[in-house]
Structure 1
Amino acid sequence: MNGPEIRVDVAPGLHLFVPPARRAGATALTTDGAATLGHVIESLGVPLTEVGALVVDGREVPPSHIPAAGEHVAVRAVTRPQRVPGAPLRFLLDVHLGTLARRLRLLGVDTAYESTDIGDPALAARSAAEKRVMLSRDRGLLRRRELWAGAFVYSTRPEEQLRDVLDRFAPELHPWTRCTACNGLLRRATKDEVADQLEHGTRRTYDVFARCTACGRAYWKGAHHDQLEAIVERALSGSAERG
């Protein structure tokens, strides 16, 4: 690039996306004079899904803004909680986020998940068709223009991933209402209705069951219930603190 020189100041929360040399205050950047500011920011490594505002010399501008020589650009992180207008809040997760998908479903959050690698174009198309927020650690996927909306998952630890998503989007929580296997809605079921899925010990020990209205899977308070209950309680407590 040999066009106008601008100065870019990336918010600390976005520093992991940019080279270390560009993390300490505003740094000079030469553009080609034709690229949009959104393209320039993405060329630094920052997905636009993570940008809350682009402020040029004190005024907010859209990503389509063409930078002029001498401009000072402040790249801010998204404001939390982030609101996604135009559709009910629903998520789509890629193949690498299976545990996060199951935990979001446990909390009653509408969460689609691709258990196989169907490719970035297909994921982006599904996000757009179903108006779902794409959650991924794949920066290339989050740069695809056809996405309905997207968000980078910052941690590799499921408990931190869940906490971050809940803090960022503040979805309504309805624990124990969705199938963790397929995302279908659960309903109360009698023991007879799910008898074909129960071992003898389970039939003898438990009396309260639920069944997925989509895939038919049966649920009851089994050996792992305390662990799941702890996840739910932490999520509900965090939601109450956020107000």
Structure 2
Amino acid sequence: MTKPPVPGTPAAKQQITVEVDPGLRLFVAHERREGVTALVTDGVSTLGHVVESLGVPLTEAGALVVDGVGVPVSHVPRSGEHLVVRAVERPQRVPGAPLRFLLDVHLGTLARRLRLLGVDAAYESEDIGDPALAALSARERRVMLSRDRGLLRRRELWAGAYVYSDRPEDQLRDVLGRFAPVLVPWSRCTACNGPLREADKDAVADRLEHGTQAAYDVFAQCTVCERVYWRGAHHGHLETVVAEAVREFGGPDAA
């Protein structure tokens, strides 16, 4: 049995083995991606530090299992222990607040598609910096979505998730499959995230070009930025995005 270090003296080195879930191995250095990795820890660092030292953001780590028993991230490993780092279970539940997202500057298309489906998705169109984003996530209790691993490691984040793909259609499927948000298509402004309401044609006439007034009769308007929406030339593409998402992930129009 390993004895605790005497106060004021260096902690003894501890040798452990680590096995990372296959879905998380993209974060790990190439030489550590296959099978079991042997690590020497300093006898003080927690499993949270160990996992992050491997390159895995804690937002992506699910259960941590030591010798077959689940342990918290605060567990300090001891020599001979075998750690298994599992991926987050899906769908992932975010306790304590309505499910809302915050996306960084690189995920504008994903933000607009989430809003199209009625998902509350705040988006920073300018790079305000990681500290400000993390503080905003905490203040508004929003899940930070990003491909920036450094941002996801910031301690002040309320919650976060790594976006695994760089293709918007795959990003959308990833987020919907991971968090299972309630889908209410056509209920949010894709420009500012505000709620939409039905709009009388005469009431928004001054915001429409003459051709639009003549061709369309059904309109919606954002209650925040007052942008007006109608079923224009691009509506068919948007309907396809909505239909595919609702068919796979559910919503009020799902069969």
Show the counterpart of 2:30.
20
Where 1:74 maps in the other structure, the secondary structure is strand
Q: CA–CA distance in 2 between the matches of 1:154 and 1:113? A: 18
In structure 2, stretches of 5+ residues that fail to align are: 1-10
| Residues 102-113 of structure 1: pairs in structure 2 closer than 5 A | 102-113=112-123
Show the counterpart of 1:155.
165
Q: CA–CA distance in 2 between the matches of 1:70 and 1:224? A: 60
Larger Rg: 2
In the alignment, does 2:64 pair up with 1:54?
A: yes
Show the counterpart of 1:167.
177
Show the counterpart of 2:93.
83
Q: CA–CA distance in 2 between the matches of 1:163 and 1:18? A: 24
Shift of 1:240: 3.6
Percent sequence identity is 72
- What value does the CA root-mean-square deviation take over the aligned residues? 1.6
In the alignment, does 2:55 pair up with 1:45?
A: yes
**Residue of structure 2 aligned with 1:181, choices 188, 191, 198:** 191
Q: CA–CA distance in 1 between the matches of 2:34 and 2:56? A: 16
Show the counterpart of 2:76.
66
TM-score, L = length of structure 2: 0.93
Q: CA–CA distance in 1 between the matches of 2:188 and 2:229? A: 10
Where 1:135 maps in the other structure, the secondary structure is strand
Where 1:48 maps in the other structure, the secondary structure is coil
Shift of 1:25: 1.2
Post-superposition Cα deviations, 1:188-210, rounded to whole Å, max 9, x if no partner, equal: 00112211221111000000000
Over 4 Å off, 4+ runs: none
CA contact under 8 A between 1:2 and 1:30: conserved in structure 2? Answer: no
Distance 1:201 1:34, change over 3 A: same
CA contact under 8 A between 2:46 and 2:76: conserved in structure 1? Answer: yes
CA contact under 8 A between 1:91 and 1:132: conserved in structure 2? Answer: yes
In structure 1, stretches of 5+ residues that fail to align are: none
Aligned residues: 243
TM-score, L = length of structure 1: 0.97
Where 2:44 maps in the other structure, the secondary structure is coil
Q: CA–CA distance in 1 between the matches of 2:66 and 2:14? A: 14
CA contact under 8 A between 1:4 and 1:31: conserved in structure 2? Answer: yes
In the alignment, does 2:140 pair up with 1:140?
A: no
State the one-letter code of the partner of 1:177: S
